[in-house]
Structure 1
Amino acid sequence: VRVCDLPGIAPGAHEDKTMGRRILRHTYRSRALVFVVDVARGEQSENDVLDEVEMLRREACLYDPLNNEKPWMVIGTKCDMLHRDALFHLDSLHFRLRARYGREVPVVGTSSRFGLGLTRTVRTIRQLVYPDLLEPSYRVAAEPAHHTHHQIPNVLHGPYGGPLPSLGEFSPPLLLAPG
């Protein structure tokens, strides 16, 4: 999977405001669209996170109507900023997107500061691009069975785990060689 990171776009980008067409022209080669938004902006921002996601998707679809048919997802960044209710905004975004579009839209929270959510992001992008790809499953270690300990006979022990009999009590069979 190749990922192309494009600069941010502003409303009206499909009309080539702020070089929007030069940025959006790269979407024609994509198999999926991934929108990255800052969920830690909180209340001081005038735009809601959902409004920003819808603006990004609308601009991509107005530039190229084929983008409307591509699978898409949202990555919420800066989820480590708990004092700004980042996880609350991420959770709210997930449920509002599901209510708006009537289906599950993948929403993944990440923190580049701590490296959180990156494995799940890669897995989700892979599922968007290759939906029929089998997901690797990892085997769970089985509980060790409760074994009884058996003693293997050796030179110190006899065939039943006890000491070897002395030659006085046991005489080995005689082997007779022909002739």
Structure 2
Amino acid sequence: MLCISHRIISLFCNKSCHFTFICNTFSISSQYSRKKKIITGKPYRTEEELAQKFIDHKLIKVYAGKGGDGRSSFLREKNRPMGGPDGGNGGNGGNVVFVADSNMKSLEKLSPLYQADDGIDGGGYNCFGKNGKDKFVKFPVGTYFRCEDGSVVEDLVKHGDEFVAAYGGLGGKGNRFFVTNTETVPEECTPGQPGDARVFVAELRTLAHAGLIGFPNAGKSTLLRILTRARPQVGDYQFTTLRPHVGILHFEDFTQIAIADIPGIIEGAHKNQGLGLTFLRHIERCRFFIFLLDLSEPDPWQHLQTLRKELSEYEKVLSERPSIYVANKLDLPEAKEHLLDFTNQFKTEFGEDKKLVLLSGKYGQNLEELIHTIRYFYDEDIRVNQMHGMTSPMRW
């Protein structure tokens, strides 16, 4: 303080030292100040970059730990020269355990190889070896595992579900284990058993209550952005969405309905044409479907028939699930021209059993009607599950 006050006084006394005072003050302040770190948000990534990061199937090899060897040992002490056998058993090998974690959304960061720790060998003085540490591997909820022959061995459908993928080998026995009335000084000991070695194909299927199904550029991403806080890329060209997106529709009673935006399905998708099977697997777990149709196309009714056929050809059960039918893009002149013919064909095919929601996703026309319909299907699904003994509904 004394030094700074002296400089201030000298400033008013001598104008010539004005520049020197400013330079010295700046050097002192910069010496004791620290630069503030600029916290930036997540780097922006395009839909193509995110699609490369989204991996929904992966080949994984797991090796459980080997059991520790048993020990053949005899006790020798000063006052006990013939103490007898004291070889301990080896520890068991560690297991490889798969765990479902709701915080993971992709198989991107998973390694292709996981190995648990081996058990420790037994020691003298009846010391047992330490068991190998289990290896826990986290997977997204909705991951199921296939063996090399294609059979499904496990399905992780809830947060916290566990599956022991490979069991560790048992530890060997020390010679203390083989002591009997007739054999008091055995020298026999056994080695530890090897752990399991298995190969799995992990495949991820998106978990959601409702699945948006439609041809490319039908307005699925636009509708998902309106209903939820999800922000999939939107464009006026086909195949804008290259990976599934999931958004949450919130209600005042704290009910949350997960809606999945499945990338566009084309004719022949069940034969793996286009990106067929890559996306069809993600709709298998949806409780009900929302068919979104573009009325501005020349033949929207044919689009609906094609979508239903693709689901039936891929898995017949999918075509029988509850569905909501939405006619989108009513704000376009072409859609108004096709509206009458489409509604007549819809009533002729389904009668009054199915409800058609007319919508303009761009301007939010009849959006409230669609929200009430989604809630009705959600409540009806819970009611049906409770009738079959499923008291806890699927929660996101």
TM-score normalized by the length of structure 2 = 0.30
Higher strand share: 2
**Displacement of 1:115:** 1.2
Q: Show the counterpart of 2:327.
A: 76
Who is 1:39 aligned against? 295
Aligned counterpart, 2:271: 15
Query: Residue type matched to 1:71 in 2?
Result: P
Corresponding residue number in structure 1 for 2:314:
63
Q: Which amino acid aligns with 2:258?
A: R
**1:11 Cα shift?**
0.9
Shift of 1:62: 1.4
Please tell me the residue identity of whatever aligns with 1:39.
L
Corresponding residue of 1:27: 283
Give 1:52 deviation, angstroms. 0.3
State the SS of the aligned residue for 2:258.
coil
Does the 8 Å CA contact 1:94/1:105 hold for their aligned counterparts? no
- Residue type at the aligned position of 1:97: F
Identity %: 28
Partner of 2:368 in structure 1?
A: 119
Matches of 2:378 and 2:315, distance apart in 1: 19
Residue 5 of structure 1 pairs with residue 256 of structure 2: no
Paired residue secondary structure (1:17): coil
- In structure 2, how many angstroms separate the alpha carbons of the residues matched to 1:95 and 1:132? 29
Cα 1:67–1:99 change in 2 (3 A) is same
Structure holding more helix per residue: 1
Unmatched segments (≥5 aa) in structure 1: 135-179
Q: Distance in 1 between matches of 2:287 and 2:363?
A: 29
Equivalent in the alignment of 1:101:
350
**Structure 2 CA distance for aligned equivalents of residues 12 and 89 of structure 1:** 25
C-alpha distance in structure 2 between counterparts of 1:13 and 1:50, whole Å = 18
Output one character per residue of 1:21-54: Cα deviation in whole Å (capped at 9) or x when no partner.
111111111111111111123xxx3xx1111001
Cα distance in structure 1, aligned partners of 2:354 and 2:337: 17
Relative distance call for 1:102 and 1:13 in structure 2 (3 A) is: same
Partners of 1:105 and 1:96 in 2: CA distance: 12
* Equivalent residues of 2:262, 2:283 under 8 A apart: no
Query: How far apart, in 2, do the equivalents of 1:125 and 1:103 lie?
Result: 18
For 1:4 and 1:65, how far apart are their aligned partners in 2? 20
- TM-score, normalised to structure 1, is 0.63
> Take 2:307 and 2:260, find their aligned partners in 1: how far apart are those partners?
16
| CA distance 1:71–1:54, shift in 2 (3 Å) | same
Distance 1:30 1:117, change over 3 A: same
Cα distance in 2, alignment partners of residues 131 and 90 from structure 1? 29
Instruction: Name the aligned partner's letter for residue 27 of structure 1.
Output: I
The alpha carbon displacement at 1:88 in A equals: 4.8
Deviation of the 1:112 alpha carbon: 2.4
Looking at structure 2, the residues matched to 132 and 25 of structure 1 have their Cα atoms a distance apart, in angstroms, of 21
The CA RMSD over aligned residues, in Å, is: 2.2
Higher relative contact order (CA 8 A, sep 6+): 1
Q: Which residue of 2 aligns with 1:49?
A: 300
Amino acid at match of 1:74: Y
Structure 2: which 5+ runs fail to align? 1-256, 384-396
2-structure distance, mates of 1:87, 1:73: 21
